Amino acid sequence: MKKFCFLIALLISFVFSSFAQERPREKGIVFGVLPTGVLNAITDVSGVKVGHLTKIEGENIRTGVTAILPHNGNIFQQKVPAAIYVGNGFGKLAGTTQVQELGNIETPIILTNTLSVAAGIEGVVRYSLAQEGNENAQSVNALVGETNDGYLNDIRGMHISPAEVIGAIESAKTGKVAEGNVGAGTGTVCFGWKGGIGTSSRKLPESLGGFTVGVLVQTNFGGNLQIDGVAVGEKMGKYPFRDAMEKSDGSCMIVVATDAPVLERNLERMAKRAMMGLAKTGGIASNGSGDYVIAFSTAEGLRIPHSSENGALESVEYLRNDDMSGLFMAVIEATEEAIINSLFAAQSMEGSEGHSVLQLPIDQVMNLMKQN
């Protein structure tokens, strides 16, 4: 019981510390020109919910689960249009082919560690089968992504269970989203510093439709860190390939949500722009990096019912190609800021086999920003 109470207290402290730490924008670093949503989070897109399961036990377990729900209803019965873009495919994003083939998502989106993808699939399937209205379902396309947290976490122990995945889904809520060392970002490393979960949003002006775009990232990749155009990694002497022995592998999962009425073809175009946001932070999508973007629309008029009358024709309203540019810019800006938010929120961590990763030295970064 004492160990359990200690674990709960530790988890609570991580959640509250992630909120207590100032984000870059609060320190005067502004990314792009578009305004953010109220929370500057993916949950600014109405109906989107996020849940974290953070697992920190003993000296070696540093991992977790993050669940993103496109809406509050039965997603299997009311699917949402969606698309996937592969920036670099050294990774495991389960469920991709059905999304690409049918253009929709029918379950919560799960992010976790590489060797817990199977647990993620089982958890999502069990959760979906248990939902009222899904009693006759015999096929569920679980969408589960990952990054490898094996430097800080005993990844081979496969410490995430399907029940914990269900717990993350059931804990999902609207409102503020915890960032940094939480959920699927618990054991991640980014640009050589502690990575984690980050999120951001953009609100288009009414002249461009007034739509909202939200992004959530799980950062675990490398490159030459840049913050608002300042080559922070280079100036701090922390960048890849300084000699022939260094590398810059890792992965980034990016989830893009919007309330704009956009179908799968243009959602894929939005997803592609997320990689431009990653590039602005200095990420290079290296050979060993699994960089995937999942994009979906919450527009109610575009929901896809699980069952419909045979031969029935569908009639929907959606944005023209000519009206997409504002959304493209919103994705780029929100992705860039979400990644940097994850670094500012993350805290130093010790983990498996005595490995340790330091948090981004914020004071030093701010001094560099002021010099430019």
Catalytic residue check, 289: yes
**Pairing mode, if any, of strands 356-357 and 143-147?**
unpaired
Of the candidates 100, 81, 358, 345, the one whose C-alpha atom is nearest the C-alpha of residue 217 is: 345
Annotated catalytic residue 251: yes
**Does the annotation count 249 as an active-site position?**
no
Q: Are 144 and 99 in contact (CB under 8 A)?
A: no
Q: Give the chain's largest Cα–Cα span.
A: 65
235 is written with which tokens?
């100036």
Phi/psi for 339 (5° steps) reads -65, -45
Phi-psi region of 42 (alpha: psi -120 to 50; beta: other; left: phi over 0): alpha
Residues near 113 by Cβ (< 8 Å), separated by ≥ 6?
63, 146, 147, 148, 149, 150, 153, 155, 160, 184, 187
CA distance 320 to 86: 24
Rounded to the nearest 5°, which phi and psi values hold at 274? -60, -35
Candidate list 200, 248, 251, 286, residue with the active-site label: 251
Place of tokens 């699939």: 121
Q: Which of 200, 248, 289, 352 does the annotation list as catalytic?
A: 289
First to last CA, the chain: 52
Catalytic residue among 149, 248, 291, 342: 291
Instruction: Identify residue 229 by its one-letter amino acid code.
Output: G
Residue 190, SS3?
A: strand
Instruction: Write out the catalytic residue numbers.
Output: 251, 289, 291
